[in-house]
Structure 1
Amino acid sequence: MKRVVRKKEAIRNNSSQYLMKSKERDDKDFISLPVELIIEILTKLPPRSLSKLICVSKLWSSIIQGKYFTDLYLTRSSTRPRLLFHRYCFDTRLSHYSSLENPSFVHSITLPGYQISPPVRGLICCRDHDSNAAIGNPSTGQFLTLPKVERSWLNGIFLGYDPVDDLYKVLSMIVVLQDKHGYQGQRCQVLTLGAQESWRTIECKYPYYALTQGICQNGVIYYGACPDIGDRYVLVSFDLRLEEFSLITLPEGVHVSGYPPESDLVSYNGKIALANHSPSPKFDLWVLMDVNKQEWTQISFVVPCWEDSEGNAKFRFNVLRWPWEDKMRCRGTISTGELIIEPRDNPYQFSLLYYNPKEDKARRVDLERSGDRCIHRITFLDHIESPMFLPRKFIS
């Protein structure tokens, strides 16, 4: 009996020694690879695979989570931007994120709310009606809850990136109530990701009410707002590095009122534009041609006929199964110069329109349906895949 036990122990010890030697040989072979070649190989992989490969070795972990690799990966991803499709389902209380160019990429996460900000260098910000906010990376599936915003009415929350100091910042606009029905003003708070653990209040000399989502361009966040009741609507700009606000006057007669807002801030060929929600094939865009001079140009277009998904028949724009009382919204332009148009909060329509203004042609793309009842859907443009790992200190 003792012989059998000793024999088993010997086999176990020999096996362990063999595995250790084998691992040492593998590590030596791995280390012999040039670091440049390792980085080149890793940049070819999707972010979800990279999140698993950080456990391979300390070297791999340091490379994947290093700033050089992240910047290189983002630079290459920016040459192939994607559409990010978000839908919030009533039945499951889940938010689903999918890339239209990569149907296999679908991530679901339980979130308390469904209000999502446009992506900034691969990251998004979401919040609910109880002032809970979270930062997420749809490419890796990582979502972290931010520190609790003070108990008040959160008017708007915006995510931005400062390219000079290489910092991500979140701007929150809080409505301060004097009493149950009294309005006292707004309070602005900023959170710098990875550099602070709590919100800090900054000065804002312009009392206003945010009405649109924000767009971040060149270190500046833009969003539509109303300074006060009865005043003209404006475009607010927030410099992320200087942390200063400025106001840009909208053209006469242009407004962003209504709930939901009757217009969106979009990117039109790299410029900030205000696009109206339309109950007809005609859309109007006001493009900010010069930020310093506050010069705007109006661009209008009418979407023509297009073929259905099977190519058998042509449909007029107003006879598709899109109820016009729900209206349509233009989401801006993509790298091909095409405008993306989608139904606004229509739970039954899973299609997008790609309209080429130069060729005056439109094509419809039908999206995969789900069995859940979706109460909110929106498409974001120019989403890039990011391998960035979020700092754990922001988990509350």
Structure 2
Amino acid sequence: MLSNIDQNLPEDVMNKLLSRLPVKSLLRFKCVCRYWYTLIKNPDLISKHFNQENNNGRLLVHHYISDIDRYAIALFPDETLAGIPPLHENLDHLQIPECMGDVVGPIDGMFLVYTWYSDGDRMALWNPAMREFRRLNVLEPIFPPNFHAVVNVVGFGLDPLTRDYKIIWIRDFYEAIVDESGDDIDYPYYVVAIYTLINDGNRYGILSFDMRLEEFREIEVPANTEYIWGSLSLYNGSIGLFFSQTDLTLECIIDIWVMEEEGCWIKLVTVRPFPEFSRPCGFWKEKELLFESRMNNLVLFNHETHEIRNLEMYGCGSFLGLWAVCYKESLVSLEIEGPDHPEPKWRFLSLFNDSIGLFLCQTGVILHSTIDIWVIEEEGCWTKLITTNPFPEVFLPHGFWKEELLFDSQTNELVLYNHEIHEMRNLEICGCGNALGPRILCP
């Protein structure tokens, strides 16, 4: 049947049909046949899918769940932010470390994740729709012992000419030199996001970095020496500015500006949000603004009707705990093709719908494992089915059951695991502590 479909439908029609489907469905369809796999991996389809009209931006929120003392990601299903509850994902299911600091982006549906407190990998790329997380090797600059880093700013962008993704890392160091009196004297050094708001004490400005020319330049902001604080955000693909003449602890009057072209600003609106306002989190559509309240919950504020709606998302008192962005799904893959890279700690073969399935893991099975599951379409041609982080007690995989996974837990119990909804079910069958315990076959 598939061969007849392939022969009867032109490739441009297939591309049009596939480009309108969500990423979750397309990842499944890659396993249907080699022809579909090739189409879905094609850069033209990836671009067409991302720019498709029905791939509307949805609100993605990083928030804190106090009941389990964990951070999570929530993706709202549509633009109304009402009705159907958002999909919540734990960070370990998305392969994101709990200690991440800045999250920059998205660019083509990808984020740059920067970890402040790390002795190893500090940066990674993350595609939530593909559920892929790729660590980046970052070379630390070598400085004398009396040099200390005090500020780290990261930027992530796309070179419009070469289509290369680029990362900017701005680090602020100071050198501690002891004077004759024995006191430390600090001398600052600026080591050379894309857009970052700067304040030299007397005025505000925007420091911009041109990804194509790789040059810094400063953009002037609306002139007003009485602004106490400012914040940058995106507004329909343009730069938006929140400016206030009062401190955040007072009842704020906020001027909101949008840059139409470089250095040319128009005041969008002046708002007085609400008494419990804490800080702006960004824009949502044309008339609505996102704020964090002093109770650390995310609220939607309509600056025309002055309606306030609690989105039931909470932070934890830190500006890194609660943030929200407009996110579009992307098929851009962060993976290096082939199941042999990098070298896994262990492998396990099984059958998946009459094809060979391969479980690969980069950690020991006694650790909280992240498992890559690959399926062979034809000899030497592999496609990654899913990357999953099943549950802390996983010991050994046993194979597939329909679209679910079978594992042996560390207490030697056979469990059925649904990697989409992260549901685990104990089948009440036990082993005896070795790999020859429970055996499962699909006749």
Shared topology, TM-score over 0.5? yes
Would the aligned equivalents of 2:57 and 2:328 in 1 still touch at CA under 8 Å? yes
Distance 1:136 1:154, change over 3 A: farther
Summarize the alignment of residues 100-139 of structure 1 with structure 2, pairs less than 5 Å apart. Answer: 101=78, 103-110=85-92, 111=97, 112-130=99-117, 132-139=122-129
Q: Which amino acid aligns with 2:220?
A: T
Following superposition, the deviation at residue 69 of structure 1 comes to 0.5
Following superposition, the deviation at residue 252 of structure 1 comes to 4.0
Q: Which amino acid aligns with 1:94?
A: Y
Give the whole-Å Cα distance in 2 for the aligned partners of 1:147 and 1:153. 22
Partner residue of 1:68 out of 10, 27, 44: 44
Partner residue of 1:41 out of 12, 17, 24: 17
% same residue: 22
Give the whole-Å Cα distance in 2 for the aligned partners of 1:380 and 1:158. 16
Following superposition, the deviation at residue 126 of structure 1 comes to 1.8
Following superposition, the deviation at residue 79 of structure 1 comes to 6.3
Give the whole-Å Cα distance in 2 for the aligned partners of 1:247 and 1:350. 32
Residue matched to 1:53: 29
Greater shift after overlay, 246-255 or 163-172?
Answer: 246-255
Would the aligned equivalents of 1:276 and 1:283 in 2 still touch at CA under 8 Å? yes
Distance 1:98 1:52, change over 3 A: same
Residue matched to 1:186: 190
TM value normalised by structure 2: 0.59
Summarize the alignment of residues 263-278 of structure 1 with structure 2, pairs less than 5 Å apart. Answer: 263-268=230-235, 270-276=237-243
What does the per-residue CA deviation read over 1:288-321, in whole Å, with 9 as the maximum and x for residues that have no partner?
Answer: 3441xx34444542358xxxxxxxxxxxx43xxx
Distance 1:89 1:248, change over 3 A: same
Partner residue of 1:225 out of 187, 190, 198: 198
Contiguous gaps of at least 5 residues in structure 2: 79-83, 142-148, 178-183, 343-361, 363-443
Residue matched to 1:339: 288
Following superposition, the deviation at residue 241 of structure 1 comes to 0.9
What does the per-residue CA deviation read over 1:98-150, in whole Å, with 9 as the maximum and x for residues that have no partner?
Answer: 23527454333232224222422211122222262221112222121222351
Which has the larger helix fraction?
A: 1
Give the whole-Å Cα distance in 2 for the aligned partners of 1:284 and 1:183. 36
Following superposition, the deviation at residue 51 of structure 1 comes to 2.3
Give the whole-Å Cα distance in 2 for the aligned partners of 1:146 and 1:33. 44
Distance 1:288 1:224, change over 3 A: same
Residue matched to 1:148: 138
What does the per-residue CA deviation read over 1:268-300, in whole Å, with 9 as the maximum and x for residues that have no partner?
Answer: 454323203654363212333441xx3444454
Would the aligned equivalents of 2:284 and 2:290 in 1 still touch at CA under 8 Å? no
Give the whole-Å Cα distance in 2 for the aligned partners of 1:66 and 1:105. 28
User: Are 2:280 and 1:329 aligned?
Assistant: yes
Distance 1:116 1:288, change over 3 A: same
Would the aligned equivalents of 2:233 and 2:241 in 1 still touch at CA under 8 Å? yes
Would the aligned equivalents of 1:282 and 1:302 in 2 still touch at CA under 8 Å? yes
Q: Counterpart of 1:362 in 2: which secondary structure? A: coil
Residue matched to 1:13: none
Summarize the alignment of residues 70-85 of structure 1 with structure 2, pairs less than 5 Å apart. Answer: 70-77=46-53, 80-85=56-61
What does the per-residue CA deviation read over 1:166-217, in whole Å, with 9 as the maximum and x for residues that have no partner?
Answer: 22222111223434974442223xxxxxxxxxxxxxxxxxxxxxxxxx4xxx
Give the whole-Å Cα distance in 1 for the aligned partners of 2:225 and 2:137. 36
User: Are 2:170 and 1:173 aligned?
Assistant: yes
Give the whole-Å Cα distance in 1 for the aligned partners of 2:271 and 2:241. 16
Distance 1:362 1:232, change over 3 A: closer
Partner residue of 2:206 out of 235, 244, 249: 235
User: Are 2:150 and 1:159 aligned?
Assistant: no
Following superposition, the deviation at residue 87 of structure 1 comes to 1.6
Give the whole-Å Cα distance in 1 for the aligned partners of 2:54 and 2:153. 27
Give the whole-Å Cα distance in 1 for the aligned partners of 2:310 and 2:215. 43
Would the aligned equivalents of 1:225 and 1:234 in 2 still touch at CA under 8 Å? yes
Distance 1:345 1:141, change over 3 A: farther
Q: Which amino acid aligns with 2:206?
A: L
TM value normalised by structure 1: 0.66
Residue matched to 1:388: 332
User: Are 2:270 and 1:301 aligned?
Assistant: yes
Would the aligned equivalents of 1:89 and 1:374 in 2 still touch at CA under 8 Å? no
Give the whole-Å Cα distance in 2 for the aligned partners of 1:290 and 1:37. 38
RMSD of aligned alpha carbons: 3.4
Give the whole-Å Cα distance in 2 for the aligned partners of 1:369 and 1:134. 25
Distance 1:330 1:367, change over 3 A: closer
User: Are 2:339 and 1:366 aligned?
Assistant: no
Which has the larger strand fraction?
A: 2
Give the whole-Å Cα distance in 1 for the aligned partners of 2:227 and 2:191. 21
